[in-house]
Amino acid sequence: MMATNDLQQELAEQMLDAVRRSAMPRREFIRRGTVMGLSVGSLAALLAACGGDDDSSGDTTAAAGTDPATTTAGSTDTTVGTTETTAAAVSEAKGTFRMAEAAPARDLEPLTGYGAGFLVIQMVHDYLVRVDNDFNVLPSVATEWAPTEGATVWTFTLRDDVVFHDGTPMTPATVVATYERMVNPDLKSVALSAFRGILSPGGTAVGADGTSVVFTLDRAFSDFPYLCSQANYTSMILKDDYAGDWLSNPIGTGAFKVDSVDPSTGAKLVRNDAYWDTGKPSLEAVEVAFYTDAQARVIAVQSDEADTTPIDFVTARALVSDDSIEVSQVGGTQTNILTMRVDTAPFDKKEVRQAVAWALDRPAVIERVLNGGGAEGNDHLFAPVYKSSPKDIEQRNLDQAKVDELLAGEKVSFTLTYGATESASVAQVYLEQLKQAGFDVTAEEMPDDQFYGGDQEVDTPWLFRPATLVVWAGRPTPSQFIAPMLLSTGVWNGAKYNNPDFDAAASAYDASETDADKAAQGKTLAETMWEDCPAVISYWGGNARATKKGFTGMDAGYFDIASVAVTD
Amino acid sequence: MRRILARRLLSIPATLLVVSMAIYGLTAVLPGNIGRTILGREASEETVAQLNHELGLDRPLVQQYGSWLGNFLRGRWGTSYATNQAVRDVVMERLGRSLLLAGFAFALLVPISLGIGTAAAFRRGTRFDRVITMGSLSVSAIPEFVTGVVLLIVFGVNLPWFPTSATAPDGSNLIAQLHRLVLPASALLLAWAGYVGRIARASTIATLDSDYVRTARIKGVSRSRLIRKHILRNSLVPPTTVLGVSLGAFLGGLTVVESLFNYKGVGSLFLQASIDKDIPVLQALAAVIGLFSMLCVLATDLVYALLDPRVRMGEAR
């Protein structure tokens, strides 16, 4: 039998949930609570923690809350996403989390910024949904989302208790303004390329119910929620009247508010007491210090001047023996791809392309390029971390017998072209291994901007040389690799690959509305890439982070700063 | 003396002009397309060309330089390509920090390097001399990034006596700031003290062996007066020249130390601007550091003239 206190707690939870959903007035909550024997003070505290109350003092001594990160199934089944309420999370905000991060190379600006330092902006803002390191889509300021009309129309239902740090409420119109701003070609948003061919100006509107936002896409796109998450990092929600002045006016709805920010030195963020996610954030403050030197960042953590820093895999190995530090490593989707032009000799023969793929010793590549981090690639664009990544395709690796069989005694000569800065280390390993396997391969190294310079429709080296090494930044969905790189209409189709069946399978993948459909179409695409082999993907990168013991919730890759807490 | 000062001051603008032309020429011939660097590989060639046009990078080099120089002299230093911040604000803020670090290191370097050099010279041939000579030679041969890391590990991590980040929080008083600068200043000190000390030692030995010192001794001049009036005044001339150059070099050569100790000065800014091909920032830094170096040389000449009357007399003739 449930104890009285437990019963009170359970009933209070249910009522709080009703308050959050606006199904129960606050006055009614207090009336019923007192009938149950709860004190007015504790009820007021629960209501304050519930959020949306102007009188909320930020007193976090008792807070019942909803924790999307732990309460949602995290399915990528795109038919629906829901928020469920769990047991009360009683927490007390405490502690300052000190982050040593790489110095920003670009302006700290939500629309056009990218790279190092951008996480400061991310901690101040929310996204419609969040993605975790297993690529589950989780609710954030959107509680539900669902596709209709073959994944060409997406409806996101929004919370009604989200307010900006200056007290302005976030409304569906705010979200519409945010997305219209991002897809406006005149504003040169970084997110523009992610939405290209998917969402155009005029495609976002307030739903008929007044509480949702409806996206009418240019084409079916089953992974659209990923583009509304932090994985598409500039898609954060900004104020309706945002004027590109983030440094002087950094107002978001996020878990932390800006106390001070300087692009040269760092930022100090303080807890947003009125945060909609009740009981969060768990920290009182976050301090970010920007470092130019990676080694200095690690030393800062070792000397207890910082609590966390991103690290490379060499450092991760070295820090494993440090008892005071927790090392987190997660898989990623960034890679370096060897693209071969299927319309040009010698790569117009599928056997030659496959022979190149079988000539690479992938564990050795990973050891030398990533110092053992990352994961083996298998010549298709479904990184292991993607939910739709097929697991039952034969893993390619060095097999000299297969290379010899495929080449059938033919001596194959070609030139491998790459950018000096970004691909030299990978090229060196590939050149050695390919020569050892019997290929007559010559290096053509050029400055990166020369490699990427020229006309993309006529002569740019990275898209027109017979064999190239190209670094591809991580992407939240495989379609964002496939569409530009391998579709016959792809804007960066350096392989000049043209397979109508593959194009059709890619369209079917994007239109699939269930995980099962998506997995089936994904397998078709992966098998076709593996067989036709227009590109060799020998590894997928990853991320690593060192964090002082004494904190929970801090991972490499995608992390939710609102969930980071001091351990007792 | 006034003529020395006037002549040196007049030469500064001409030298700076040459330096700025050289820097502009060098940055112009560096490989890479600035528009492409800013916009990334995914930008179309048309967009890249448009941005280069907006930045004036498609104009003839002489025209670009003239435009930059005119604006620079009028105080319009432009906007950073990378961070979109006003170049003058960024550079001047960073310059203040670097001057503090360079000044602090210099304040440590002068007494320590001259002290060990002179002391070794007075104990020539003893074990003390050999330890100082070999020790300073060994330490100055180690690159700053090695000594810096050792200092950080020993005095920042294992013995946490000093902060590993040299940038003090806003509002810190001077003592707190200097406390954070002990390790980076020590790294600079270790790189330069041995070199300056060896010159001071050699110079002092030469002075000790000179006829006028021997004569003064025979005349019965007291030891303290002999050291103050006859030895130090003469033996300090060569190391003074090196010290003046070192102060200029401190500011221009802080890149490694500032990056390693997370100090937000001109050195770390220079590194970042080079990576980003941020030409407006690079140009401004080169001009500011060049001016500072020339002022250091000027100050050195003046001190040199004060120490050595022959210089003043020579200039007068």
ipTM, 2 dp: 0.75
CB contact under 8 A, B33 and A449: yes
Q: Each residue of B148-158: pLDDT tens digit?
A: 999 999 999 98
Quickly count: other Cβ atoms within 10 Å of residue B88's Cβ.
17
Of residues B47 and A200, the one with the higher pLDDT is: A200
Does B219 lie at the interface with A, CB-CB under 8 angstroms?
A: no
- Taking the Cβ of residue B169 and every Cβ of chain A, the question of whether any pair is shorter than 8 Å is answered with no
Residue with tokens 């909320």: A56
Q: Do B84 and A107 touch (CB under 8 A)?
A: yes
Distances in Å between the alpha carbon of B30 and those of B35, B38, B68?
14, 15, 18
- Which alpha helices (DSSP H) does A250-322 contain, by range? 294-302, 313-319
Span A517-530, pLDDT tens digits: 899 999 999 999 99
Strand stretches in A207-284, DSSP E: 212-216, 256-262, 266-271
Q: Residues 63..102 of B with a Cβ closer than 8 Å to A: which?
A: 82-85, 90, 93-94
Q: Which amino acid, A213?
A: V
Q: Does position A64 have pLDDT exceeding 70, yes or no?
A: no
Give the model's confidence band at A16: pLDDT under 50 very low, under 70 low, under 90 confident, else very high. low
Lowest mean pLDDT among A277-281, B85-89, B178-182, B235-239: B235-239
pLDDT value of residue A2 = 38
B158 touches chain A (CB under 8 A): no
Q: Do B156 and A264 touch (CB under 8 A)?
A: no
Q: How far is A108 from chain B (nearest CA, A)?
A: 7
Whether B167 sits inside 8 A of A265 (CB atoms) is: yes
pLDDT tens-digit profile of A328-343? 999 999 999 999 999 9
Q: Are A522 and A390 in contact (CB under 8 A)?
A: yes
Cis amide prior to B309 (ω within 30 degrees): no
Pick A341 or A67 by higher pLDDT.
Answer: A341
Chain B: residue whose CA lies nearest to A117: B83
A409–chain B nearest CA distance, Å: 39
Nearest Cβ partner for A453 among B36, B259, B275: B36
B41 touches chain A (CB under 8 A): yes
Judging contacts by C-beta atoms under 8 Å, the chain B residues touching residue A106 are: 82-83
Is A248 at the interface with chain B, CB within 8 A? no
Helix axes B174-208, B87-122, angle to 10 degrees: 40
- For residue B275, the chain A residues in CB contact (below 8 A) are 105
Least confident of A524-528, B72-76, B252-256: B252-256
Q: Average pLDDT, stretch A117-132?
A: 95
Which residues 6+ apart lie within 8 Å of B189 measured at CB? B105, B108, B109, B112
Task: State pLDDT tens for residues B9-61.
Answer: 888 888 888 888 887 787 777 666 777 777 766 666 777 788 888 888 888 88
**Which phi and psi angles does B180 have, rounded to 5°?**
-75, -20
Q: For chains A and B, what is the number of CB pairs under 8 angstroms?
A: 93
- Does residue A23 or residue A408 have the better pLDDT? A408
Inter-axis angle of helices B279-307 and B87-122, to 10 degrees? Answer: 30
Contacts of A60 (CB under 8 A, 6+ apart): A49, A91, A92, A93, A273, A279
- For residue A137, which of A149, A125, A145 has the smallest C-alpha distance? A145
Taking only the tens place, the pLDDT of each residue in A489-498 is 998 999 999 9
Which range has the top average pLDDT, A213-217, A312-316, A540-544, A563-567? A213-217
Q: Do A296 and B259 touch (CB under 8 A)?
A: yes
In this predicted model, what pLDDT tens digit does every residue of B168-193 receive, in sequence order?
887 889 999 999 999 999 999 998 88
**Which residue out of A264, A297, A475, A548 would a mutagenesis test of the B interface target, given it has the greatest number of B Cβ atoms within 10 Å?**
A264
**Chain A residue with minimal CA distance to B153?**
A299
Cβ-nearest to B85 among A263, A296, A452? A263
Q: Which of A264, A297, A447 sits opposite B32 (nearest CB)?
A: A447
The 8-class DSSP code of residue B228 comes to I
Q: Is B240 on the interface with A (CB under 8 A)?
A: no
The pLDDT-based confidence of B201 (bands split at 50, 70, 90) is: very high
Which candidate from A103, A302, A462 shows the least CB-CB separation from B157?
A302
pLDDT at B65 over 70: yes
Residues of A in contact with B31 (CB under 8 A): 447, 449-450
Of B32, B170, B260, the CB nearest to A296: B260
Q: Which residues of B touch A454 (CB under 8 A)?
A: 45
Most confident of A536-540, B279-283, B289-293: A536-540
